[in-house]
Amino acid sequence: MTKTSKTLAIVLAGGGARGAYEAGVLEYILTDLPVDVIEKIHFKIICGTSVGALNACFMAAVADDKQKQAAILTDTWTSLTLDRVYDFSWKEVKRLPRFLKGSGGLGSLDDLGQSGRKGGVFNTAPLEHLMRTGIDWNHIEDNIKAGHLDALIVNALHLGSGEIHSFIQSDLSPQKHTQSHQRRFIPTRIQPKHALASSAIPWIFPAIEIDGYNYVDGSMRLNTPISPVIRLGADKVFVIGLNSPEEFEQPKRHRIDQFPSALSILERIASALLQDNTHGDLERLEQVNKMLERGVKEFGDGFLDVLNQPTGRQGAHGYRQIKTQLITPSENISVIANEYIQQSNIIDGLRGFMKILVERIALASLNDPQSMTLSSILFDGGFASKLIELGRHDAHMHRQELIEFFKAH
C-alpha cells in the first residue's frame, strides 16, 4: 500500500564544534522561509550522530514548538565556552600515563558520582552537566505521545563488536526497527548517556558505558546517518552536513621530512574520523530513485507493490522513492577556525594545561590547513556565531530549493 502522506526526517551530521552550523541552517528554515512553507515543516524523525546527536536531542525535546527548536540551538551554541564543555587540568595530566599504558584508567566522573566513564584525555563533566540540565528529557516522550514526533535516533559505536547501535525512542513497534549488517536498532528511552556516547571521540573524550557495554563516537562508522531514517519509514530526508565541498576533495600529498609528533598523529586521526561519505550515500540513493521511477514509468503504479512482495523481512519498509535535500558549508570551516583563533583572545582566557593543549592544537592546525581538529574542539560562542551566520547564509542561497522541497507532497 502506498502512503498518502510523506514522513519528513532530518539527519544531523557529526563534527564537534562544527555543529553550530546546523543551528544556523535550522534557524533560517524555521524562521525565514515563507509562513506557508514553515507550516508544512514537521520533522517526524530526528536523527543524529556525534554532535548531531546532541542537536537532535535538543530538537526532539521541543518538537512541539518550531520557534523553540530554532532558538534553543542558537542560544545554547552562542553561550558556550570551552570550560562549559570539557576540562584538562592537573588531574587529567596525572591520569595520562596510566591511560596510555592501557590500564583501563577511569575518566573523571560527573558530580553525581556516577560510574561508566572510561578513558579519555578530557574531563567532560561540564558537558554532562549541560546535557542533563539543558534538555527536558521527559518532554521527548511527551512529544512522541502527542504525535509531534515519531522517533528520535541517536547513533553510537559499540566498541566490543564494531557495530553501529542506533538507539531509538519511538512508539513504533520493535518489529519495524529492521536490523542490517554492522548495524543494530535498540528501542530505548533516550537519556544524556546515549547522546554523550554518540559524541565520545575516542581517546579524546571518555567512552560511555550503557547496559554494561562501552560506546564511543558514532561518526567513526556513520557520520551522517541517512540509512536509519529510511529504515524507519522516512520518505523525505533533509540532511545537514558539516564538511565543505573543498574538504571532500582528495587531500594534497606533502613531503614529510621528519616523523610527526604524537600530537600531530592524533590530530590526523581525529581529522580522518570527521570525514564522511554523505555525497556518496546520496548518489546511491538517487540511483535507486531513478531505477524505481523508470520501473513505475514502464510497468505502471503497481510496480512498487510487486517489487516489495518478496522482501522477506517482516515489518521492513519496502522500496520507495525518497526525496532528499542536502545543505553543506560553502566555506571551509577549518579555515574559519584558524582565522578566528588568530583574531580572538580566546587562548588568553584559558589557564593551565588547557591553555597549553589548545595552543598546541591551534599551532598544528595553522601549519596544516586540512586539519579539522581545531574546528571540532573549539566550543566557543564567538566561533559558533560565525558558523551560525554561515549556516543561515548557505540556507538562504538554497532558498528556492528549500521551499520546493518542503512544499512537495
| β-bridge mates for residue 167, sequence order | 154, 186
User: Are 216 and 223 contacting, i.e. CB atoms less than 8 angstroms apart?
Assistant: no
Q: Is residue 242 classed exposed, middle or buried when 0-12, 13-18 and 19+ CB atoms within 10 A define those classes? A: buried
Where does the pLDDT of residue 59 fall: very low under 50, low under 70, confident under 90, or very high at 90 and above? very high
Whole-angstrom distance, CA of residue 66 vs CA of residue 39: 9
Higher pLDDT, residue 34 or 259: 34
Q: Which three cell numbers stand for residue 98?
A: 596510566
Whole-angstrom distance, CA of residue 57 vs CA of residue 46: 8
Distance separating the N- and C-terminal Cα atoms of the chain: 17
39, 253, 398 from 45: Cα distances, Å: 17, 41, 22
| Stretch 293-313: mean pLDDT | 72
The three-state secondary structure class of 215 is strand
Closest CA relative to residue 393, chosen from 328, 312, 303, 349: 328
Q: Which three cell numbers stand for residue 41?
A: 515543516
- Supply the pLDDT for residue 144: 97
pLDDT tens for 6-18 read 899 999 998 889 9
Helices (H), 180-277: 192-198, 226-231, 245-248, 262-273
| Stretch 110-118: mean pLDDT | 47
Where does the pLDDT of residue 189 fall: very low under 50, low under 70, confident under 90, or very high at 90 and above? very high
Judged against a pLDDT cut of 90, whether residue 194 lies above it is answered with: yes
Closest CA relative to residue 360, chosen from 370, 349, 373: 373
* Secondary structure of 29-71 as H, E, C letters: HHHCCCHHHHCCCCCCEEEEECHHHHHHHHHHHCCCCHHHHHH
Higher pLDDT, residue 216 or 252: 216
pLDDT tens for 318-357 read 777 788 999 999 999 999 999 999 898 888 877 777 777 7
- Supply the pLDDT for residue 258: 53
pTM of the predicted structure, to 2 decimals: 0.85
Judged against a pLDDT cut of 50, whether residue 111 lies above it is answered with: no
| β-bridge mates for residue 236, sequence order | 8, 323
Q: Is residue 204 classed exposed, middle or buried when 0-12, 13-18 and 19+ CB atoms within 10 A define those classes? A: buried
- Supply the pLDDT for residue 119: 64
